[in-house]
Amino acid sequence: MNDSLPVRSTAEVFAYMELNPCGVCGETIFTEELACLAGGTDEYRGACAGCGRWRTMSFQDQETGVGGPSRIIDAGQWWLLAHKRSNGAMGG
């Protein structure tokens, strides 16, 4: 069974990670290693930077040139990320 998430770019992977923090402590950083599995699946895994809980996320590379919106991040979440980034830029 393949429960990996369909993505088209690395940027989409990291955006998804930022939008889906640790369920225990809320930390978004956990990646310690990237494993390239069979069938084009990339698995990011490692201990949570906040609480040490082991986390894994699997992503399936989609064919390049496939159009349309992201299948794992909706428009509202993209807006949220953009809003966070712009606030961070203004705060310095």
Binding site for Zn ion (CB under 5 A): 22, 24-25, 27, 48, 50-51, 53
DSSP states of the chain as a string?
A: ---PEEES-HHHHHHHHHHS--TTT-------EEEEEGGGEEEEEEE-TTT--EEEEEEEEPPTT--SS-SSS-HHHHHHHHHHHHHHHHH-
Q: How far is the CB of 2 from Zn ion (least distance, A)?
A: 26
Least separation in angstroms between residue 21's CB and Zn ion is 8
Residue type (1 letter), 57: M
| Rounded least distance, CB 57 to Zn ion, Å | 14
Q: Which one, 40 or 52, has the nearer CB to Zn ion? A: 52
Instruction: Pick between residue 15 and residue 48 the one whose CB is nearest to Zn ion.
Output: 48
**Of 27 and 61, which CB lies nearer to Zn ion in the complex structure?**
27
